[in-house]
Amino acid sequence: MGVESKDKIPLLDLARLHAPLEGELLEAFLETLRSGNFIQGPIVEEFEAKLAKSVGVQNVIGVSSGTDALLVSMMALEVEPGDEIITTPYTFFATAGCIARLGARPVFVDIDDNTFNIDPSLVPAAVTEKTVGIIPVHLFGQCVDMDPILETASINGLWVLEDAAQAIGAEYDGKYSGSLGDMGIFSFFPAKNLGALGDGGAVTTNDKRLAEKVRSHRQHGSQNKYKHEDVGGNFRLDSLQAAFLSVKLPHLRSWEDGRRRVATIYNEELKDLENLQLPHEVQKLHHVYNQYVVRSNKRDALARALDSAGIGSAVYYPLPLHLQECFKELGYSAGDFPMSERASKEALALPVDPLLEDQQLQKIIQTIRNLSK
C-alpha cells in the first residue's frame, strides 16, 4: 500500500508550525547578524526577562540545553560526589544522567500509575542521611503533585529542582511550573512546547544567590573576565536562539490551546475503547500536553497499525532508567519499580500537534478505532 509522503502525519510538524512566523524569524536572524553580537548580551537578556515575567520568577538564566540546565543547576546547588538525589526512573535520560555526571547517586522512586509522574507518597521512604535534593519531573506536560514533595523537602532540609523540560506553561494550583521549587529548568529542544531552532535551555529561580552561581557557572565560573571563582563550563545560550525564542514565546499560549484542543477531541472520541487508557488529567493542574500518551496492552500492534497508515507515534520511554546498562552499578533490578516498568511496555504518544487539522485528527481516531474493534 504505502502512504504518500504528503498524506503522512508526523508526530509534530515543525515546518507547518514555523511557516506563519517565517518573516519574523528571518527578521530576528538579520537583527542578530547585524548586531555582530552572538554570545550573551542584550538579545539573551531580553529573552530571559520576558520568560521570567511569563513564568512568574525573579530570575531566568538562558543556557545551552535542558540537559546543561540540569547540570549547571546542580553545580550551583553544590552537589558533591556521594550525594543522593531522589528522582523518577521514568523520564528522559538527562534527569538522572546529570546526577551521575556530578558523581552523585540517583535514587529512584516509582511513578503514580495514573499520571506517569513520581509518586510523592513513596518519596519519604527514600530519604537517607545522604539525600540532598529531589528532582520531580513534570512529565508529558503535567505537573507533579508538588505540595507533598515540598513538604518532604522542607522536613528533611532538601532542595527541590523541577525538571520542567516538557512542561513550560503547565500550572499547579495557579502557579507556573518552574516557579514551584528552589530551582527549575526548561528545555528548548525543537520538539518541546517552546522550541528553539537548535538546542537551548533555561534555569529558573527566585533565589538571587543561586541565580548568580548559575550565571557564573554558565561562563567558566567567571563573572569578570579571566577571574574564576568557580570551575564552571561553557553553558551559554546562543543570541541567535534567544532571538528566535523571543519570536516564538508570544505564541506559546495559543499553541498550548491547540494541543489541548486536540487532546480534548481524543478524550471524547476514544473514551469508549476498552483496550485503551487515556491520559489522566488532574483537576488542579493545567496539562499542556507536550505529549498525549495513551496506554494499551497491545501497544506495539497499535504503533505498527499507525505506522502503516502513515501516522507518527513514539514510545516514551521503552526502558526505565534503573534498568539502563550505564546505571548497572546502582544495583537496581527488574521488578524494583513495577509501575515504571509497566508504563514502559504500555505507553504510546500520539500526534498532539497544535496545528493538527480536523481531517488528520479524524484519520488518527479512525485508525485507532478500527484496530480496537
Ligand X SMILES: *Cc1c(COP(=O)(O)O)cnc(C)c1O
Nearer to ligand X, 66 or 106 (CB): 66
CB 84 to ligand X: min, Å: 19
Nearer to ligand X, 200 or 310 (CB): 200
Nearer to ligand X, 91 or 360 (CB): 91
CB 110 to ligand X: min, Å: 17
Residues 231-290 interacting with ligand X (rule: CB under 6 A): none
Nearer to ligand X, 92 or 116 (CB): 92
Residues 121-150 interacting with ligand X (rule: CB under 6 A): 137
Contact indicator for 199, 64 with CB cutoff of 8 Å: yes
Nearest to 276 by CA among 355, 370, 359: 370
Please give the residue whose beta carbon sits closest to ligand X in the complex.
66
Q: Does 47 bind ligand X (CB under 6 A)?
A: no
Q: Does 116 bind ligand X (CB under 6 A)?
A: no
Q: What is the DSSP string of 266-324?
A: HHHHSTT-TTEE-----TTEE---SSEEEEETTHHHHHHHHHHTTB--B-S-SS-GGG-
Identity of the amino acid at 70: L
Binding residue for ligand X (CB under 6 A) from 73, 95, 241, 360?
Answer: 95
Longest dimension (CA), the chain: 68
Q: Does 189 bind ligand X (CB under 6 A)?
A: yes
Q: Does 163 bind ligand X (CB under 6 A)?
A: yes
Q: Does 67 bind ligand X (CB under 6 A)?
A: yes
Length of the chain: 373
Q: Does 169 bind ligand X (CB under 6 A)?
A: no
Binding residue for ligand X (CB under 6 A) from 12, 28, 43, 66?
Answer: 66
CB 69 to ligand X: min, Å: 7
Contact indicator for 294, 350 with CB cutoff of 8 Å: yes
Binding residue for ligand X (CB under 6 A) from 104, 165, 242, 339?
Answer: 165
19 class by beta-carbon count within 10 Å (0-12 exposed, 13-18 middle, 19+ buried): exposed
In the three-class reduction of DSSP (H, G, I as helix; E, B as strand; rest coil), residue 235 is classed as coil
CA distances from 1 to 7, 181, 363, 364, 365 (A): 13, 51, 16, 17, 20
Binding residue for ligand X (CB under 6 A) from 92, 108, 289, 317?
Answer: 92
Q: Does 203 bind ligand X (CB under 6 A)?
A: no
Own/partner pairs, 275-280, CB within 8 angstroms, 24+ separation = 275/372, 276/368, 276/372, 277/346, 279/140, 279/142, 280/114, 280/115
Nearer to ligand X, 98 or 309 (CB): 98
Q: How many residues bind ligand X (CB under 6 A)?
A: 15
Binding residue for ligand X (CB under 6 A) from 59, 65, 117, 360?
Answer: 65
**How many angstroms separate the first and last alpha carbons of the chain?**
22
Nearer to ligand X, 131 or 291 (CB): 291
What ranges make up the beta strands (E) of the chain? Answer: 59-63, 84-87, 105-108, 131-134, 159-163, 171-172, 175-176, 183-187, 201-205, 276-277, 285-286, 292-296, 347-350
Nearer to ligand X, 163 or 256 (CB): 163
CB 243 to ligand X: min, Å: 18
* C-alpha–C-alpha distance, residues 286 and 176, integer Å: 9
Q: Does 187 bind ligand X (CB under 6 A)?
A: yes
Binding residue for ligand X (CB under 6 A) from 9, 71, 94, 194?
Answer: 94
Nearer to ligand X, 187 or 205 (CB): 187
CA angle (364, 369, 373) in 5-degree steps: 160
Nearer to ligand X, 194 or 276 (CB): 194
Binding residue for ligand X (CB under 6 A) from 91, 115, 152, 340?
Answer: 91
Cα 213 vs. chain centroid, distance in angstroms? 23
* C-alpha–C-alpha distance, residues 279 and 273, integer Å: 13
Binding site for ligand X (CB under 6 A): 65-67, 91-92, 94-95, 137, 163, 165-166, 187, 189, 199, 201
